[in-house]
């Protein structure tokens, strides 16, 4: 199986074997180490070879520059917004698959079949282990009782832009601005750093709770971040918040069949395999993500977080509010 590692969209495409009936070309922004076990299992199961082309950035630009001669069959990336961007740029094609439509919840796939989620991560709340709170809504985070007690990374980070966009989709722009202003007033420190820093700062007594992705807890507790991060994880408990009258906001990794895919049938077969019980278990264990297949087992550590009830607003609608979400971050001076 041939891999080509390319760091930008301007690199010259070369070295991919000629297209055949039993192979396909995957362009992915996901780290090769996360997806390779899945691709190896797919090849072992079907005999179809997957040529993986890793692009750290510039995926859309790369495919667009190749035009109708692009060898790309499947485009894999992280963040629903990136998938929506691929669709809006005319780089994908719709797929009709009973397997995908029956396995993946409607909120986690394009209404017209242009992209499908493959794994999920919840935008969660980390709380000090001894804090007397076991459930919380996103709306609650702006309550003045948390003044000076909240940690979060920059509001303009895509993780938070997506959360704010979801808040707009649920509650409207005016309510989102009021909520974001309340969040800012509750900050214990300037918004910034990374999600794992939220756990570190809770352990250090800087804040009592914060907003961060769910899978980082698994990475820290498993020792993959080193002994220091294991200690950070021991200092917190993770809560799956929900919107009032809604569910938990999630973001995804996902994939779309390229518009000019020379091996569309094989690309769809890989998509269908990636949502199978077998593949979803590999996803869950590799990066402590939630499977999109309700019948697939979650990693034991992830299961300790409790049942995940995803919000039902389609992520395409959420992505449509990203620009306004970013503007609100600037308007309230959230990152200042």
- Going from N- to C-terminal start, the domains of the chain cover 3-120+250-299, 122-248+316-331
Q: Does domain 122-248+316-331 fall into CATH 3.40.190.10?
A: yes
In whole angstroms, what is the distance from residue 229 CA to residue 224 CA? 8
Reading the block at residue 101, the tokens are 């439509």
Alpha-carbon separation of residue 167 from 60, 132, 320 (angstroms):
27, 25, 12
SS3 for 266-313, per residue? HHHHHHHHHCCHHHHHHHHHHHCCEECCCCCCCCHHHHCCCCCCECCC
Q: Which of 145, 142, 163 is nearest to 248 (CA)?
A: 163
pLDDT of residue 6: 35
In whole angstroms, what is the distance from residue 256 CA to residue 73 CA? 9
Reading the block at residue 247, the tokens are 């569910």
Q: Can 3-120+250-299 and 122-248+316-331 be said to share one CATH topology?
A: yes
32 contacts 81 by C-beta, under 8 angstroms: no
The mean pLDDT values, 10 residues at a time, for the chain of 336 residues are 37 38 90 88 96 95 98 96 97 97 97 97 97 97 98 97 98 98 98 98 98 96 92 97 97 97 98 95 87 90 90 97 98 97
pTM: 0.90
Binding-site positions: 215-216
Cα dihedral 290, 296, 299, 303 in deg (nearest 10): 70
In whole angstroms, what is the distance from residue 59 CA to residue 249 CA? 25
Binding-site positions for Fe cation: 215-216
In whole angstroms, what is the distance from residue 110 CA to residue 80 CA? 10
Contacts of 216 (CB under 8 A, 6+ apart): 195, 196, 199
CATH superfamily of 3-120+250-299: Periplasmic binding protein-like II (3.40.190.10)
pLDDT of residue 161: 98
């Amino acid at each position: 199986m041939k891999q080509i590692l390319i760091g930008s969209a301007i690199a010259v495409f070369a070295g991919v074997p000629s297209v055949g009936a039993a192979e396909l070309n995957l362009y992915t922004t996901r780290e090769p180490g996360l997806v390779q076990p899945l691709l190896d299992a797919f090849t072992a199961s079907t005999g179809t070879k997957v040529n993986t082309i890793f692009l750290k950035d510039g995926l859309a630009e790369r495919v667009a520059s190749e035009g109708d001669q692009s060898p790309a069959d499947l485009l894999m990336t992280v963040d629903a917004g990136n998938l929506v961007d691929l669709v809006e740029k005319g780089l994908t094609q719709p797929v009709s698959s009973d397997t995908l439509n029956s396995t993946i919840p409607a909120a986690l796939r394009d209404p017209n079949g242009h992209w499908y989620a493959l794994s999920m991560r919840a935008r969660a709340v980390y709380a000090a282990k001894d804090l007397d709170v076991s459930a919380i809504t996103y709306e609650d985070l702006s309550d003045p009782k948390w003044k000076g007690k909240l940690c979060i990374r920059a509001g303009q980070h895509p993780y938070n832009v997506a959360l704010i966009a979801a808040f707009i989709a649920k509650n409207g722009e005016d309510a989102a601005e009021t909520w974001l202003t309340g969040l800012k007033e509750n900050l214990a420190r300037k918004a910034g750093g990374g999600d794992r820093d939220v756990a570190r700062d809770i352990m250090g007594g800087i804040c009592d709770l914060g907003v961060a992705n769910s899978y980082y807890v698994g990475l820290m507790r498993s020792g993959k971040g080193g002994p220091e991060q294991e200690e950070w994880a021991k200092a917190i408990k993770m809560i799956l918040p929900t919107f009032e009258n809604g569910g938990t906001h999630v973001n995804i990794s996902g994939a779309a069949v390229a518009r000019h895919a020379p091996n569309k049938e094989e690309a769809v077969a890989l998509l269908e395999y990636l949502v199978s019980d077998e593949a979803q278990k590999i996803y869950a264990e590799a990066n402590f993500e939630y499977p999109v297949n309700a019948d697939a087992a979650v990693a034991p550590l992830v299961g300790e977080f409790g049942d995940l009830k995803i919000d039902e607003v389609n992520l395409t609608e959420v992505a449509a509010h990203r620009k306004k979400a970013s503007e609100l971050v600037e308007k309230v001076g959230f990152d200042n």
